[in-house]
Chain A
Amino acid sequence: MNSNDLPTRPGRPKPWNDPRVRSVAFQILAALAVGWVGYSLFQNTIANMESRGISTGFDFLDSTAGFGIIMSLIEYDESMTYGRTFLVGLVNTLLVSGLGILLATVVGFIVGIARLSTNWLVARVALAYIEIFRNIPLLLQIFFWYFAVLGALPGPRQAVNVGDLAFMSNRGIMLPAPVFGPGSGWMGIALIAALVGVFFLARWARRRQAATGQIFPVLPIALVVIPGLPLIAYLATGMPVTWDIPEMGGFNFRGGIQAIPELGALLLALTLYTASFIAEIVRSGITSVSGGQTEAAAALGLPARRILRLVVIPQALRVIIPPLTSQYLNLTKNSSLAVAIGYPDLVNVFMGTTLNQTGRAVEIVAMTMAVYLFISLAISLLMNIYNRAVALKER
């Protein structure tokens, strides 16, 4: 057989006629153009600022900040740098957003399910909650919790005293702080061991149930083991944990852990506001699951709770997750309202005080924007991964 007899493959078109090459080329060109515009805007701004005698650059991050911050989870004092104030603000933003997301989810799910309750009163209370909190501007709610509720608590000298251990005043909540002595590391190890053990137990129980239909009581075991193991470690190592109990001294309590009212008010407002939206999302998710599903499950003899947990919610989640993600993003961005009541979040500390003391507006605003962008993208990414896990799997 002669090679000339082989069917000839259609020759590749010339590169400039090849649609694939063309589309890639145009995309590269477009990206370059966008990049060039961005770069020249940047250069232009820098040049303009320099010509007006405004200092630019990121060197300020190394200079001493010289101002105090009321709350920091990482070590901070006035003698540290502006760069450090960025971290302090960032951690505080992450704290309030993280806690807010957690609490808003819990409250939102409870209210959303309650909203569909067959109990008239429960359903109405849930409805009232949603309508009230969803329709009042968030800033107003923050002020309400801060000035009207937490601000109305008595001063530290007349603080509400809970068994001489915890105190509540308009300076916040004071709690005893654990002081971990030598050997308390074992408690941590015991806790991790318990968690890992319960995880594998649960997996085994699920497989067994799938195979044999028998149910294994994982929850009671977990409730015993998770606190139990660390407790045994605590006793075995000779009780290394002591408590630092807050004590009144001078103007305020000293010692212990202090949760400032700014955090409390912001967290309450963010949680209750976002939860009202989440409740509606949960309700719509649940109603989207067709009634036939519930009826079929009931016909199988499943109790109402299990129907909700095993049949309805897993299907509802597919509808719930995407809008839930937007609520998480909203909550994170809304946390920047902190500045109104002086909670030291990133916007308040870094874009407020640090910007004003250094005057590096462009740099600081860019850094702050980048942080919010990054947090938002991270939340979206995690939620997308979760969404893929719960999405309907076509088999």
Chain B
Amino acid sequence: MKKTLLTASLAVTGLLALGTQAQAATLDDVIDAGELRCGVSNGLPGFSQPDSDGNWTGIDVDTCRAVAAAVLGDSDAVQFIPLTAAERFTALQSGEIDVLSRNTTWTTTRDSSLGLNFTGTNYYDGQGFLVKTALGVESAYDLDGAAVCTQAGTTTELNLADFFRANDMDYEAVVFDTSEASAQGFDNNRCDILTSDTSQLAALRTQLSNPEGAEILPEIISKEPLGPVVRQGDDEWFNVVKWVLFGQINAEEYGVTSANVSDMLDSGDPNVQRILGTDGNMGEILGLDDDFMVAVLEQVGNYGEMFERNVGPDTPLGLQRGTNALWTDGGILYAPPFR
């Protein structure tokens, strides 16, 4: 009798534990909700930024839109949730968002002990310095004793410490919780240097009260592969987010764009056929429709289009493809094959 009571109460405790455990089927949840919840930044030109009407744009935003197009057939079925650097991982772990697409660097700790998975890289970045011209500094190695503005909870903060320590230099880290505040601190002369992922420095510079008064130093002090992140332990969803981006990169490689996707449906190239689902069952095995990439390409476009539209040479960021070019063009963008 006593034993049964004990077993019963143990079973109850076990159930309690199970009851609150989120079910690991994010794909089904997103389909049921009819909407993808996507964690983005509070506003970072070219990556994720809202305009005055609350419409989000940026390469990180498009990465989420592509997933929504693939899963729900509608690139607008996304709810964007702005997060600071320090909030982002907890938001994903707790299930507040389905995917984090917020210029987040892929690192060992984040990939393992945080219980997260990076699905790929949508922008290869590196950390750099923006410095006041008046200081007459030419190189990052002349920064001994400088005050540096940066943002809390980023790899930026850690790389900064590593760089100064490795080069035996002193610094003063002025750490803010939003990039807006750190930019203001730099503008206000609280810091001599602003440090962040290099892609941001050009845009930040244009927003200063006197852009001519600041310049970007030549040194890149770190590797920052930025990409979408999902929760660990949900392989189906992990695969979906991963292969939507791979699909966009492959589409660029095989010349499929938003403009020509309807013509390409008649393409005889088996690679293109598999991407567009006219041949094979790539969509089905991922848990999607076979033509999921058609919606992605029609509504968002391939990787190159996403790049040009948000951060490319014709945008305020004015970035070259560089490392982010396809492997066939001298870059390191290389997506596994669709087959």
In the complex the two chains form, what is the Cα distance from A249 to B146 in whole Å? 11
Known: A48-B20, A52-B115, A66-B162. A356 touches B173 (CB 8 A): no
CB of B52 closer than 8 Å to a CB of A: no
Which among A51, A78, A170, A356 is the interface contact of B153 at CB below 8 angstroms?
A356
Using CB atoms, name the residue of chain B closest to A56. B113
Q: How far is the CB of A73 from chain B (nearest CB, A)?
A: 16
Which among B22, B89, B146, B152 is the interface contact of A359 at CB below 8 angstroms?
B89
> Which of chain A's residues have a CB closer than 8 A to the CB of B161?
66-68, 78
Using CB atoms, name the residue of chain A closest to B24. A52
Interface of B is mostly: mixed
CB of A161 closer than 8 Å to a CB of B: no
Using CB atoms, name the residue of chain A closest to B93. A54
Q: Are B177 and A67 in contact (CB under 8 A)?
A: no
Which among B147, B176, B232 is the interface contact of A341 at CB below 8 angstroms?
B176
Segment 209-233 of A: residues with Cβ below 8 Å from B:
none
Segment 137-162 of A: residues with Cβ below 8 Å from B:
147, 151-152, 155
Using CB atoms, name the residue of chain A closest to B193. A251
CB of A348 closer than 8 Å to a CB of B: yes
Closest 6 CB pairs of A and B: A356-B153, A54-B115, A55-B113, A359-B114, A68-B173, A53-B115
The bracket for how many chain A residues form the interface is 35 or more
> Which of chain B's residues have a CB closer than 8 A to the CB of A151?
185, 188-190
Known: A352-B152, A352-B177. A49 touches B115 (CB 8 A): yes
In the complex the two chains form, what is the Cα distance from A208 to B297 in whole Å? 94
Which among A44, A53, A254 is the interface contact of B233 at CB below 8 angstroms?
A53
> Which of chain A's residues have a CB closer than 8 A to the CB of B175?
70, 342, 344, 348, 352-353
Instruction: Pull 30 A–B residue pairs with CB atoms less than 8 Å apart, ordered by A.
Output: A43-B13, A47-B17, A51-B21, A51-B233, A52-B22, A52-B232, A52-B233, A53-B115, A54-B113, A54-B115, A55-B114, A67-B161, A67-B173, A68-B171, A70-B172, A70-B175, A151-B188, A151-B189, A171-B172, A171-B190, A251-B147, A252-B145, A342-B176, A352-B175, A356-B153, A357-B109, A357-B158, A359-B89, A359-B114, A359-B115
> Which of chain A's residues have a CB closer than 8 A to the CB of B220?
none
> Which of chain B's residues have a CB closer than 8 A to the CB of A54?
93, 113-115
Q: Are B173 and A70 in contact (CB under 8 A)?
A: yes
Q: Are B192 and A339 in contact (CB under 8 A)?
A: no
CB of A392 closer than 8 Å to a CB of B: no
In the complex the two chains form, what is the Cα distance from A342 to B150 in whole Å? 10
CB of A261 closer than 8 Å to a CB of B: yes
Known: A54-B115, A353-B175. A66 touches B158 (CB 8 A): yes
Q: How far is the CB of A287 from chain B (nearest CB, A)?
A: 42
CB of B262 closer than 8 Å to a CB of A: no
Mark interface residues in B281-292 (1 if CB within 8 Å of A CB, else 0). Answer: 000000000000
> Which of chain B's residues have a CB closer than 8 A to the CB of A47?
17
CB of A106 closer than 8 Å to a CB of B: no
Known: A66-B161, A359-B89. A52 touches B145 (CB 8 A): no
> Which of chain A's residues have a CB closer than 8 A to the CB of B146?
250-252
CB of B1 closer than 8 Å to a CB of A: no
CB of B223 closer than 8 Å to a CB of A: no
Interface centre among A51, A68, A78, A348 (most CB of B within 10 A): A68
> Which of chain B's residues have a CB closer than 8 A to the CB of A117?
none
CB of B157 closer than 8 Å to a CB of A: yes
> Which of chain B's residues have a CB closer than 8 A to the CB of A352?
86, 152-153, 175, 177
Q: How far is the CB of A368 from chain B (nearest CB, A)?
A: 13
